[in-house]
């Protein structure tokens, strides 16, 4: 246990160092005057963006094995050490980073990753480890083609076979740490109550690493983008801060495309600052090129994997490509995900005698709306089912937490810290923008994991910071200190208690690493051959599955690529080799594939 604990903490700090090294190198390459951009939190975040670009280019030519990963880590550490000794990192910011890293250690230790990891992300990393880029990946296993894997294009570098294989959770907590540090740095530069309430709500809301996954990091980036825009209105816009905004937005979209829910605000900002932006485009061609190239890479990878710009959004798919996905399956995947976000499972349970936890089948009967047509209904119909999902309680919790910090900040008045606030017209501008974002979110994908946290954290922070600013122009040190103590204490106590319970219940296989469940050949899976190619078929056992009675979703977990869950081989496309590239063409038995997938389109 001692050896593994030392290796865990060593990996924790090394990952942070590598990301800072690449982030600083990226700044030197793309900024005309990078010395003015010294926030260490921002540096770490764009380290993720740089490594995403590197990973995306490597996979075109090669799989990402442990030797490539070790080389990437070595260059990152050397880069960090070089810039550290050349005093390119702010000493105060480094101390803050180190302190936050220490405070977040309990959160970094988990026994079980989320089930999505074994179903989506571990099989995707097995693909990256085993093969260069494949055309028509969707026709091997459609779950590998979702446009939400970009974070794991980076995490793959920190998973070293036979050395550190279970480190997949650490880069995510480091991402969160960089976010917190960047917020603190923004506050130290010029304190404002809006950013402080954002900081408080973030710490007390995102307390479980299991719940962060790939859905929260892009929302954290959107929150930071909103904070930067608030700072534009507070201190004026300049090229350096606008560059930060563009890079953070680019990374948010690459990690999860539904980050475009911020579009209403961005359009309003572009209209407001159109003269500045016009000049910016001419003065910062290098950054514009990098941003354009990154988005090009992102869409190109998606098209290669599935034939879609964004999978499974069927309106963004090119059906005539040889390797395109089964279009009917793609449409139904999107319809199911969208319908579920609006309460369709609760509507289905009301109309059918369903005892299972999940509703996967595309149910249909007279006077019943299946999930394909459910999205065509108005909110006046589906809102009552949306309220049956406890998702709305998370919005209520954010409101109550905002109210709590408002009360704490007003315990002592007549403080010495000036609450820098924006003008009333600018508050109205931001509130109007936030409302548009919430409306957009509500009509498109009203789930907290699809942008809801971002939408309501900034909305409630705006409201309560405005009320507080109007009430009193200054704030007391005690109120700020007490708020932060409460936030970090809550996070630490909650995670320490969880770790203690997991140790008592013997949930850790290899403390302090997250568990990595091994699946056994000829028990949990078997090898089969089709068209002279070998595949691994996941069989139904009691290990790594979403159990839903007669139905179940089988997870491939650590099974080698290509792994296909039992039954889904009916959708397997035919492999053709063109030079060194493999192309999986669309399965010709589309109707049989659709019939199988119709039982559970998310499979």
Label each residue of 97-163 as H, E or C: HHHHHHHCHHHHCCCCCCHHHHHHHHHHHHHHHHCCCCECHHHCCHHHHCCCCHHHHHHHHHCECCC
Residue 397, pLDDT above cutoff 80: yes
Q: Specify the pLDDT at position 164.
A: 67
Compute the distance between CA of residue 89 and CA of residue 101 in angstroms, rounded to an integer. Answer: 16
- What local confidence, expressed as pLDDT, does residue 132 receive? 95
Beta-bridge partners for 537: 526, 564
Task: Report the relative pairing of strands 533-538 and 575-578 from DSSP bridges.
Answer: unpaired
Provide the total of helices (H) and of strands (E) in the chain, helices listed first.
25, 9
Of 417 and 99, more confident = 99
Residue 581 pLDDT: 92
Please report which helix (H) or strand (E) contains residue 575, including its range. strand 575-578
Cβ(564)–Cβ(538) below 8 Å: yes
Q: How confident is the model at residue 364 (pLDDT cuts 50, 70, 90)?
A: confident
Q: What is the pLDDT of residue 419?
A: 64
Q: Which of 309-323, 352-366, 564-578 has the lowest mean pLDDT?
A: 352-366
Cβ atoms 409, 486 nearer than 8 A: no
Residue 416 has pLDDT above 70, yes or no: no
Q: Which tokens belong to 143? A: 């779950």
- Give 387's DSSP letter: T
Q: Residue 504 and residue 492: Cα distance in Å, rounded?
A: 18
Is residue 180 a contact partner of residue 25, using CB atoms and an 8 Å limit?
no
Is there a contact between 40 and 24 (Cβ–Cβ < 8 Å)? Answer: no
pLDDT above 70 for 473 = no
Q: Average per-residue pLDDT in the chain?
A: 91
| Contact yes or no for 307/120 (Cβ under 8 A) | no
Q: Sort strands 575-578 and 581-584 into parallel, antiparallel or unpaired.
A: antiparallel
User: Quick check: bond before 562 cis, omega within 30?
Assistant: yes
Contacts 24+ apart (CB under 8 A), 403-409: 403/464, 405/197, 405/200, 405/201, 405/464, 405/483, 406/197, 406/464, 406/467, 406/468, 408/479, 408/482, 408/483, 408/486, 409/193, 409/468, 409/475, 409/479, 409/480, 409/483
What's the pLDDT tens digit per position in 127-148? 999 999 999 999 999 999 998 9
| pLDDT reported for residue 34 | 65
Q: Which H or E run includes 209?
A: helix 209-212
Contact at 8 Å (CB) between 183 and 213?
no
Q: At what angle do helices 40-61 and 91-103 cross, to 10 degrees?
A: 80
Phi, psi angle pair for 555, to nearest 5°? -95, 140
DSSP state of 582: E
Checking if the pLDDT of 5 tops 90, the result is: no
In Å, how far are 89, 287, 296, 326, 462 from 28, measured between CA atoms?
Answer: 13, 11, 22, 44, 35
ω into 312 cis (within 30 of 0): yes
Distance between CA atoms of residues 586 and 574, nearest Å: 7
Report the pLDDT value the prediction gives residue 475, as an integer from 0 to 100.
76
Q: How many whole angstroms separate alpha carbon 170 and alpha carbon 209? A: 9
Residue 253 tokens read as 């979209």
């Amino acid at each position: 246990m001692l050896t593994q604990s030392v290796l865990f903490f060593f990996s924790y700090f090394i990952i942070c160092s590598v990301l800072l090294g690449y982030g600083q190198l990226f700044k030197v390459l793309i900024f005309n005057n990078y010395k003015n951009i010294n926030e260490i939190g921002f540096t770490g975040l764009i380290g993720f963006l740089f490594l995403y670009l590197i990973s995306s280019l490597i996979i075109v030519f090669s799989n990402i094995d442990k030797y490539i990963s070790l080389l990437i880590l070595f260059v990152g550490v050397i880069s960090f050490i070089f810039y550290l000794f050349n005093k390119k990192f702010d000493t105060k910011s480094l101390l803050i980073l180190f302190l936050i890293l220490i405070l977040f250690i309990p959160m970094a230790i988990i026994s079980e990753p989320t089930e999505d990891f074994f179903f989506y992300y571990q099989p995707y990393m097995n693909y990256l480890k085993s093969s260069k880029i494949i055309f028509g990946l969707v026709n091997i296993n459609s779950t590998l083609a979702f446009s939400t894997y970009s974070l794991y294009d980076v995490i793959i570098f920190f998973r070293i076979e036979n050395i550190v294989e279970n480190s997949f959770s650490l880069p995510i907590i480091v991402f969160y740490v960089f976010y917190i540090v960047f917020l603190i740095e923004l506050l130290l530069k010029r304190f404002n109550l809006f950013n402080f309430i954002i900081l408080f709500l973030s710490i007390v809301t995102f307390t479980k690493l299991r719940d962060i996954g790939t859905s929260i990091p892009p929302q954290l980036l959107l929150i930071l983008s909103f904070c930067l825009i608030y700072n534009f209105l507070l201190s004026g816009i300049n090229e350096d801060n606008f560059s930060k905004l563009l890079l953070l937005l680019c990374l948010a979209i690459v990690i999860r495309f539904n980050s475009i829910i911020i579009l209403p605000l961005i359009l309003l900002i572009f209209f407001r600052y159109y003269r500045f932006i016009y000049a910016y485009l001419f003065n910062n061609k290098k950054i514009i090129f990098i941003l354009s190239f990154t988005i090009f890479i992102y869409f190109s990878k998606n098209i290669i994997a599935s034939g879609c710009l964004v999978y499974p959004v069927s309106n963004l798919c090119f059906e005539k490509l040889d390797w395109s996905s089964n279009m009917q399956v793609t449409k139904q995947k999107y319809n199911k995900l969208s319908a579920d976000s609006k309460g369709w499972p609760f509507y289905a349970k009301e109309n059918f005698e369903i005892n299972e936890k999940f509703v996967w089948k595309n149910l249909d009967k007279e006077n019943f709306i299946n999930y394909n047509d459910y999205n065509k209904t108005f909110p006046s119909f589906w809102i009552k089912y949306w309220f049956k999902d406890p998702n709305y309680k998370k919005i209520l919790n954010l409101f109550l937490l905002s109210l709590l910090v408002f009360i704490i900040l007003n315990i002592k008045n007549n403080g010495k810290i000036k609450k820098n606030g924006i003008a009333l017209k600018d508050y109205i501008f931001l509130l109007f923008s936030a409302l548009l974002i919430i409306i957009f979110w509500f009509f498109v994908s009203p789930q907290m994991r699809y942008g809801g946290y971002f939408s309501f954290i900034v909305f409630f922070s705006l409201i309560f910071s405005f009320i507080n600013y109007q009430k009193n122009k200054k704030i007391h040190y005690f109120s700020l200190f007490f708020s932060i103590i409460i936030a970090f204490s809550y996070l630490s106590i909650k995670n320490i208690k969880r770790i203690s319970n997991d140790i008592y219940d013997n949930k850790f296989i290899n403390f302090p690493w997250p568990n990595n469940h091994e699946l056994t050949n000829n028990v949990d899976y078997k090898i089969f051959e089709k068209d002279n190619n070998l595949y691994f078929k996941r069989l139904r056992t009691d290990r790594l599955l979403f159990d839903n009675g007669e139905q179940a979703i089988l997870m491939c977990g650590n099974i080698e690529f290509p792994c296909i869950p039992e039954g889904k081989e009916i959708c397997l496309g035919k492999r053709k080799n063109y030079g060194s590239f493999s192309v999986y063409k669309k399965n010709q038995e589309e109707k049989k594939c659709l019939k199988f997938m119709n039982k559970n389109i998310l499979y």
